[in-house]
Amino acid sequence: MTDSVERMWARLNGLGYGADYNPEQWPASTWAEDMKLMRDAGVNIVSLGIFGWAQIEKRPGEYDFGWLDEIMDQLHEAGVSVCLATATASPPPWLARLHPETLPVTKEGTRLWPGSRQHFCPSSDRYRQAAGNLVRRLAQRYGTHPALALWHIGNEYGCHVSACYCDASAAAFRRWLRDRYGDLDALNGAWSTAFWSQRYGDWAEVSPPRIAPTFANPAQQLDFARFSSEELRSCYQTEREILREITPRIPATTNLLSLWKPVDFFAWAPGLDVIAHDSYPDPDDGQTVTAAAFNYDLMRSLGGGRPWMLMEQAPSAVNWRLSNSPKPPGVMRLWSCQAVAHGADAVMFFQWRASAGGAEKFHSALVPHGGTATRTWREVSEFGRELTGLAGVRGSTVRAQAAIVLDWPNWWALELESHPSTWVSLVEQVHRHHAPLWRENIAIDVVAPEADLSGYRLVVVPNLYLITDRAAAGLREYVASGGHLVVSFFSGIVDEHDRIRLGGYPAPLRDVLGLRVDEFWPWPPGTTHEARFEDGGAAFGVDLWADAIELEGAAPVAVYTDGPLAGTPAVTRHRFGDGTATYLGTRPDEAGMRRILAAAAADAGAAPVLAGLPDGVEAVRREGPGGSHLFLLNHGAEPVTVTVPDGSALRFGDGVLDGTSLNLPARGVSVVGEAVQVQKSKNQEAM
């Protein structure tokens, strides 16, 4: 960890607790009350001024820092650190009036107007210049302010506008393509333009994949997705460089959404000094905590295991779903602790005080419209005080023996149209692979396909349709040297330009998996079939997809009992070198998936954090210099009793520990300190 990040954490003196703070929406008379209430609630950090541009720079080049000076001072006096926004996520209306070319344009050619937020073209020099001027002024003014802990650059890049198709963007896309390919021959080859008379003879002919009569060139779409993520990243980096130059000792970040397709988190992560995440689990969705666990593991993994910040979550209801339920009593606390369990060292919310006007007035806040006489305030203020009891986990991490592979270019390519099936959704598939391991309480990292996999006992690869040579070589090496790999259907099909890897699917993985896929047999939604395990005969449902598998050394683990491929393998297993490769040629139902992945984990020696827990109880272990902390989270509506390791001591939460027996109330959370470190990674064991 860099010194600047270390300093940022150290000044919080425990875990971070706070919220987005938008004082510009309120008269100055409210601010004193805010400071008092922040103290009451244990708030020690706020994200300040994220949408403050129009209030800071009221006219081009005319800055009004008075209110920001005042609020920075007040926060400092109140002992609250500031994650200061660069305020560039929502340009003021004057920018659009003076420079309409800063506004983004959709694929259909429609210009998006001001009046909401994020209305900027990432390739607009004018926008970048105006944003840069503001950032420079902010850095010069507040760089040495004692309240400043961290810079918050932009906000949720790509959330509303992830790509722009205007002429400036087209020119930037061409420049990016020239850098990537050097000459047009290379581009024509990569884009397979011999097809449908698409050959380009001049760079000026190349454009973003604007609306077209039918399927746009897939490689063009794929490169445009790469370019768009990079173009947003370069907006971030432009601001980052200015801040680095003026305030080299202050770390910077931006808030990443949950599994967000337009932004390649793996490419962005190295530019963030600390990973920050916005998480909005849906209280009406029964699977929401499983998905949240995945996102949190991803955030930790993006930072190489280092602590991350839960930068935003809702204290209760949001305002942007079709129907917005509040979080039931205890759920905000439980879900906050879930993030901490998975490695967050800060728990923050959107937002501090509920807006009285504007599009988000029905979004929950720490201080609701009803003030402190509200359930939300009671819960958040009690929890803020309680959280100080978890200070000892700061800096500790989760060690995982299993990893799931995720890749943005693959995601972009997999979900392009004109495939055997357009019903394959990467996020859905990733969750289907992750959930059974989560239910078994197996700790998981989320890694890119070219990552070093040698530390993991089990590596799960959902639908890696696009595979680079390096990734294929890495997976091969992983299995050959003793790892257990699980790969699911429609993997290893194309190269990085969406060109088929010829020689029988999945060409680069055929010998590792010990099979060849002759044909794809996708099924439309609603069609289900059955497969049966070879070793004892349990049957499970399958849907969406079936590969016609020809075995080339692999053994069948399960076989279709009906449908067009009856009697042929649905799931296989193959020894390759010192390792094992399991292949899923179809999409098993939940029970089937759980059995396949539990067997793979057992075979690989990827042990649960704690075995034999009732369904709905999540166990996560954070380890660090301060010892080992076992988080037990009861997501269920009934109390449970769980057995914890010998010598455990209750450190936090509402369970009752009697020897090794822990009673955990419904929606309860306990953290127990363990006498010994229980799990070792594959590398550690080898030592």
Judged by the rule CB under 6 A, the positions of this chain that interact with ligand GAL are 155-156, 159, 278, 280, 312, 314, 318, 350, 360, 363
DSSP structure class, residue 112: P
Q: Which residues pair with 487 in a beta bridge?
A: 461, 583
CB of 459 to ligand GAL, least distance (A): 32
Closer by beta carbon to ligand GAL, 155 or else 221: 155
H or E element at residue 404:
strand 402-405
- Angle CA 428–432–435, to nearest 5: 125
Closer by beta carbon to ligand GAL, 201 or else 357: 357
CA distance 247 to 521: 57
CB of 15 to ligand GAL, least distance (A): 21
Closer by beta carbon to ligand GAL, 156 or else 345: 156
Antiparallel, parallel or unpaired: β 62-63 and 57-59: antiparallel
Helices 66-77/28-40 angle, 10° precision: 20
Question: CA dist 321 to 262, 317, 360, 362, 626, Å?
Answer: 20, 10, 12, 11, 41
CA distance 282 to 325: 8
Residues classed as catalytic: 156, 312
Can you say whether the dihedral through the CA atoms of 567, 568, 569, 570 is positive or negative? negative
3-state helix, strand, coil in the chain (%, to 5): 35, 25, 45
CA distance 234 to 556: 48
Can you say whether the dihedral through the CA atoms of 259, 261, 266, 268 is positive or negative? negative
Residues in the chain: 687
CB of 486 to ligand GAL, least distance (A): 33
Antiparallel, parallel or unpaired: β 579-584 and 484-488: parallel
Per DSSP, the three-state class of 550 is strand
Closer by beta carbon to ligand GAL, 254 or else 381: 254
Q: How many CA atoms lie less than 13 Å away from 139 in the CB half-sphere? A: 24
CB 606 within 8 A of CB 458: yes
Closer by beta carbon to ligand GAL, 127 or else 349: 349
CA distance 650 to 662: 9
Per DSSP, the three-state class of 373 is coil
Residue position matching structure tokens 């070792």? 680
CA distance 643 to 609: 12
Please tell me whether the peptide bond between 351 and the residue prior to it is cis, using omega within 30 degrees of 0.
Answer: yes
CA distance 448 to 460: 11
Antiparallel, parallel or unpaired: β 81-85 and 148-152: parallel
Antiparallel, parallel or unpaired: β 528-533 and 617-624: unpaired
Can you say whether the dihedral through the CA atoms of 88, 94, 95, 96 is positive or negative? positive
CB of 160 to ligand GAL, least distance (A): 9
CB of 51 to ligand GAL, least distance (A): 7
* CB contact set of 248 (below 8 Å; sequence gap of 6+): 4
CB 589 within 8 A of CB 541: yes
Q: Which residues pair with 62 in a beta bridge?
A: 59
Antiparallel, parallel or unpaired: β 458-461 and 484-488: parallel
CB of 364 to ligand GAL, least distance (A): 9
CB of 359 to ligand GAL, least distance (A): 8
Closer by beta carbon to ligand GAL, 181 or else 280: 280
Other Cβ atoms within 10 Å of 204 Cβ, number = 10
Question: CA dist 651 to 543, 617, 654, 657, 674, Å?
Answer: 45, 18, 10, 10, 10
* CB contact set of 181 (below 8 Å; sequence gap of 6+): 187, 190
Please tell me whether the peptide bond between 625 and the residue prior to it is cis, using omega within 30 degrees of 0.
Answer: no
First-to-last C-alpha distance (Å) of the chain: 24
Closer by beta carbon to ligand GAL, 278 or else 495: 278
Closer by beta carbon to ligand GAL, 104 or else 218: 104
Closer by beta carbon to ligand GAL, 314 or else 620: 314
DSSP structure class, residue 173: H
For residue 254, with 0-12 CB atoms within 10 Å meaning exposed, 13-18 middle and 19 or more buried, which class applies? buried
